Amino acid sequence: MSHSLRPRLSMLMLLAAISGGAAAAGDPATLNLYSARHYQTDEALYSEFTRQTGIRINRIEGKEDELLERIRNEGRNSPADVLITVDAARLSTADEMGLFQPIASKKLEAKIPAHLRTDDWIAFSTRARVIVYAKDSVQASDVANYADLAQPKLKGKVCSRSGSHPYNLSLMASIIAHEGEAKAESWARGVVANFARPPRGGDTDQIKAVAAGECGVAVANTYYLARLMRSDKAEDRAIMEKIGVVWPDQKGAGTHINISGAGILKYAPHRESAERFLEYLASDSAQRYFADGNNEWPAVTGARIDNPALAALGPFKADTLPVKSLAMYRAKAQMIFDRVGYR
């Protein structure tokens, strides 16, 4: 039976395994993983860890807020060893709730760049937020920077997903960190003034809207583009033929990135297995998997990438703003978006 079961069934199985043996608290061959990464391809990542180490993974999948609340309510009795999820702000929220314990691994310090880790949680993959434009109506030079999205020349041409989504909040948080609140709010007002329609849908919907001529520009995470590029469907390939992709701010701070990451939970019953799992996520094989299996950029500098779609997107300068800053300014980002009507 697949480990990627529905949350309730997975929980029943995990609780049964834990209550079934004196086992669970001390068995070094077990890892209880709470995951908010909803990618079917992660099954291969976890299976490889078990193959390499002999450590069996019991996994619960759920939405971030539900998992955080569950861990808090379980308290000292929580069976969870590791939380893995996407978005720096979500990991920071878990940290602020006191759910993590410090990570003391020299291997991780050596492999993961300083701006992609904190004392209590670490990034293992990144996704860049790029500008997508319609080749037949917008010039790449018109959207070289995030700031250009607020320029009057793009009035009626910008499509976006909700301003309350973590991807957009993290981008806004990075702008606040670099430019200050006043300039960030001015930018947000300009973007709202340029909307082609009210925000709706996900990143793939924005890409499709640009290709369909519903709008001229949008922002999207790179792994959505890579999925379309690698698709066998003719309609997906047709979408990619109609759009161009810009790495924003290459002459400035660099393109904004967000992350997938993980931390060891405060009352983890399998502390040693948890640390081995985090170190595995920074291994060469796991880093290649993030890139080749799920179209994410490796967090480890110099990790090999065999993904043809990522190669086609080309090299870029990434913003090295510390990931904890994305969490620090998230609340201000939401307040600014609310004030300017970016909903």
CATH code of the domain in which 182 resides? 3.40.190.10
Place of tokens 């993959």: 125
- The residue behind tokens 């960030």 is 184
Expressed as residue numbers, the domain containing 70 is 7-125+259-307
Across the strands, what pairs with 85?
A: 261
φ and ψ at residue 101, rounded to 5 degrees: -115, 160
Q: What is the dihedral of CA 37, 39, 41, 42, to 10 degrees?
A: 10
Q: Do 221 and 81 share a structural domain? A: no
Question: How much is the pLDDT for 23?
Answer: 39
pLDDT tens-digit profile of 23-82?
A: 345 577 999 999 999 887 899 999 999 999 999 999 999 999 999 999 999 999 999 999
Q: Is the same domain home to 91 and 217?
A: no
Residue 249: inside a domain: yes
Q: Is residue 28 one of the residues assigned to a domain?
A: yes
| Residues 158, 14 share a domain | no
The per-residue pLDDT for 26 is 56
Distance of CA 105 to the CA centre of its chain: 23
Please give the C-alpha separations between residue 297 and each of 5, 59, 167, 260, 263, in angstroms, as whole numbers. 27, 24, 16, 10, 19
Predicted local confidence at residue 28, as pLDDT = 75
pLDDT of residue 98: 96
Q: Domain check: are 247 and 272 in the same one?
A: no
Assigned domain for 80 exists: yes
At 147 the three-state DSSP class reads: helix
In total, how many domains does the chain have? Answer: 2
1: in domain: no
Residues 231 and 336 in one domain: yes
Q: Are residues 324 and 183 in the same domain?
A: yes
The confidence score (pLDDT) of residue 243 equals 98
Are the C-beta atoms of residues 220 and 203 closer than 8 Å to each other? yes
Position 168 in a domain: yes
- 228 & 329 share domain: yes
Amino acid (1-letter code) at residue 135: K
Q: Is residue 44 situated within a structural domain? A: yes
Residues 323 and 201 in one domain: yes
pLDDT of residue 20: 38
Task: Identify the pLDDT of residue 14.
Answer: 46
Task: Give binding residues for Fe cation as ranges.
Answer: 38, 223-224
For residue 152, being part of any structural domain is answered with: yes
d(CA 6, CA 14): 12
d(CA 303, CA 306): 10
My answer on whether 132 and 117 are in the same domain is no
Question: How far apart, in whole angstroms, are the C-alpha atoms of residue 158 and residue 171?
Answer: 16
Binding-site annotation: residue ranges: 38, 223-224
- Give the pLDDT confidence score for residue 155 in this predicted structure: 98
Q: What is the pLDDT of residue 27?
A: 74
63 and 99 together in one domain: yes
Give the pairing type, strands 56-61 and 30-35: parallel
Identify the segments of the chain with pLDDT beneath 70: 1-26
Q: What is the pTM of this model?
A: 0.90
Q: Which helix (H) or strand (E) holds 19?
A: helix 7-19
Are residue 324 and residue 180 in the same domain, yes or no? yes
| 180 and 325 co-located in one domain | yes
For residue 24, the model assigns a pLDDT of 46
| β-pairing verdict for 122-134 and 56-61 | unpaired
| Beta-bridge mates of residue 61 | 35
Six-digit token pair at 281? 């996520």
